[in-house]
Amino acid sequence: MRVTANSETCAVSSLCVYRVPGVFDQDEDGLVLVLDESPAEGLHEEIRRAARGCPTKSIRVVEEPATANVPGEAG
Amino acid sequence: MSTQTPPRYPFAWTPPMQVPEALRNIHKTSAMEVTLPSGDVATLVTRYKDVRALFADKRLSRNIARPDCARISKDNDLFMDPNIDPDPPEHTRVRSLVTKAFTARRIEALRPYVQQVADQLLDEMEAAPQPVELNEALAFPLPIMVICKLLGVPAEDRDQFRAYVDGFLSVTKLPPEEVGQCRQNLWKYLGDLIDSKRENPGDDLVSELIRVRDDEDDSRLNEHELHFWTQGLLIAGYVTTASQIGTGTAVLLHHPEFVRAIREDFSLVPSTVEELLRTQIMGSSVGTMRYAIDDIPLSDGSVIKKGTSVLLSEEGANVDPEVFDCPMELDIRRTENHHMTFGAGLHYCVGAALARMELQVATESLLRRFPNIRLAAPAEELPRALGGFMEGFTEIPVEW
Ligand code: SF4
């Protein structure tokens, strides 16, 4: 999974930062920062939730096909 | 089309604990006409996907100081300041000055202070004869003290401005002369506050906004804006949270099984707070008034015509069965709860994270201190505030 965020449209709701603190953060002005663009699999569901919940749709998640030694997710 | 008068809006909370009956059938169409307290008619957008999209739609202007825009109240020009432009780019400029104060880090830095205030209020509550009225004991003083701290308002002044704000937010509760008097008093109070901060700046938000106003060569906030947005923060930062603490807690206490579950597992507090925000929006969506500056198609194929006054139904979106399973049910364990109570898009409530933190502290502290707390009056008899901007419960007697 690749995670990116558009700080230009971010409305500083802090929702993503609270939901997945190690992956999302905020700069001095409160705009979203992505700390970890390829987060561990255990975080994926929460990250998808954060993306769905972002009030400005500023978070983009690109699902990548699973590599040989990482089991893929169903669906 | 029938020639009947559209239903009155806000919808009635009868009985007071239940989501208004009108909301159950609201999703059959994407929009419906409603009659506001002023008698004007506006179009209420009802479905989650439309509400969410329209919060971010530039074809809806937030500038409602237009002669042909519907008015909320006959007696009060709520949110109609012809000198303020709440649309981008003006809005973006002001908003970016304010958001800095509301980052997750800043909000978390305030948490110990909020906890300390809550503990102190609960000490006083514990010492008082039962039953205690929860609004006065906790729900109102907590957010007032927090917003005073954030904005640098002296704590002694809080009763005074509370009275002004009540008047400011009257829809039908007070006659126009009294509303006008409250607005003048509040404006003057803020003028004095700004003057005193100019002389003795602190590390509060008002001092920060003054600094931006006075020091920047491009003069990023004019005097009127400085005044207006300080007022907005003061009002928004207090009444909404206060109303939600009181009303949300009353609803929670009405469900002892949830109180028990939380007492056994306090990690349920955040999802409980979200669920109470979703289902018990204390007012209506009259504050979302917009004006269509172009035709806007909706999901059912109908079109909002240019020149229409539009309200975005947060409470309708929040119970849309397309988005929420069993939407009328209170489920404190809901994990996916992207409700619309704080709006969406670039106008998303700047104080949402602060409000959430206050609600979490208030809920958890109250249930830790008084594990057996319960309503001391039948839930059906709790009075709701009518004729104001917020329609939460006005009296919430509790005992333990
Ligand atoms: S959830 Fe969206 S709007 Fe909120 S801070 Fe994150 S990116 Fe910004």
Whole-angstrom distance, CA of residue B301 vs CA of residue B303 = 7
Of B55, B56, B353, the CB nearest to A14: B353
SS3 state at B61:
strand
Pocket of ligand 1 (CB under 6 A): A 5, 10-16, 24, 32, 54-56, 58-59
Nearest chain A residue to B104 by CA: give it: A14
pLDDT of residue A75: 39
Q: What is the mean pLDDT of each run of 10 residues along chain B (400 residues)?
A: 78 82 90 92 96 93 86 69 74 78 89 97 97 94 89 82 75 75 86 90 85 64 82 83 94 96 97 94 81 95 96 94 94 94 90 95 98 94 75 91
Report the nearest-CA residue for atom 1 of ligand 1: A54
User: Which residues does B115 contact at the CB level (< 8 Å), separation at least 6?
Assistant: B361, B365
Whole-angstrom distance, CA of residue B59 vs CA of residue B293 = 5
Candidates A19, A47, A58, A60: which one to mutate for ligand 1, based on the most atoms within 8 Å of Cβ?
A: A58
Beta-carbon separation of B104 and A53 below 8 A: no
pLDDT of residue A74: 46
DSSP one-letter string for B344-374: -GGG--TTHHHHHHHHHHHHHHHHHH-TT-E
Of A12, A15, A18, the CB nearest to B102: A12
Say if residues B145 and B158 touch (Cβ distance below 8 Å).
Answer: yes
CA B114 to centroid of chain Cα atoms: 19
- B98 Ramachandran zone, left/alpha/beta (phi>0; psi -120 to 50): alpha
**Mean of the per-residue pLDDT values of chain A:** 87
Say if residues B319 and B257 touch (Cβ distance below 8 Å).
Answer: no
Report phi then psi at B383, rounded to 5. Answer: -80, 140
Say if residues B36 and B72 touch (Cβ distance below 8 Å).
Answer: yes
pLDDT of residue B76: 61
**B33 burial type by CB count under 10 A (0-12 exposed, 13-18 middle, 19+ buried):** middle
| DSSP state, residue B69 | S
Say if residues A30 and A38 touch (Cβ distance below 8 Å).
Answer: no
Supply the ipTM of this predicted assembly: 0.81
| DSSP state, residue B12 | P
Whole-angstrom distance, CA of residue B369 vs CA of residue B367 = 5
Query: What is the pTM (predicted TM-score) of this model?
Result: 0.90
pLDDT of residue A31: 92
Chain B partners within 8 Å of A11 (Cβ): 99, 345-348
Q: Shortest CA distance to B78 belongs to which of B308, B247, B311?
A: B311
CA of A32 to the centre of ligand 1 (A): 6
Report the nearest-CA residue for atom 4 of ligand 1: A13
A9 touches chain B (CB under 8 A): yes
Q: How far is A25 from chain B (nearest CA, A)?
A: 9
Say if residues B234 and B161 touch (Cβ distance below 8 Å).
Answer: yes
Whole-angstrom distance, CA of residue B203 vs CA of residue B303 = 48
pLDDT of residue B70: 87
Whole-angstrom distance, CA of residue B263 vs CA of residue B257 = 10
Report CA Rg, chain B. Answer: 21
pLDDT of residue B85: 74
* Beta bridge partners of residue B290, listed in sequence order: B310
Q: Find the helix packing angle between B352-369 and B239-253, rounded to 10°.
A: 40
Interface test with B, best of A14, A28, A49 (most B CBs within 10 A): A14
Report phi then psi at B8, rounded to 5. Answer: -75, 150
| DSSP state, residue B283 | B
A18 touches chain B (CB under 8 A): yes
Chain A partners within 8 Å of B347 (Cβ): 11
Placement of tokens 């990116």 in the chain = A4
User: Tokens for B364?
Assistant: 């958890």
The residue type of B135 is: N
Placement of tokens 């699902």 in the chain = A63
Whole-angstrom distance, CA of residue B276 vs CA of residue B278 = 5
Beta-carbon separation of B345 and A56 below 8 A: yes
**% pLDDT > 90, chain A:** 75
Residues A52-63: pLDDT tens digits? 999 999 999 999
- Upper half-sphere CA count for residue B50 (Cβ side, 13 Å): 28
Say if residues A31 and A12 touch (Cβ distance below 8 Å).
Answer: yes
Q: Shortest CA distance to B309 belongs to which of B64, B5, B82, B23?
A: B64
Of A14, A29, A49, the CB nearest to B107: A14
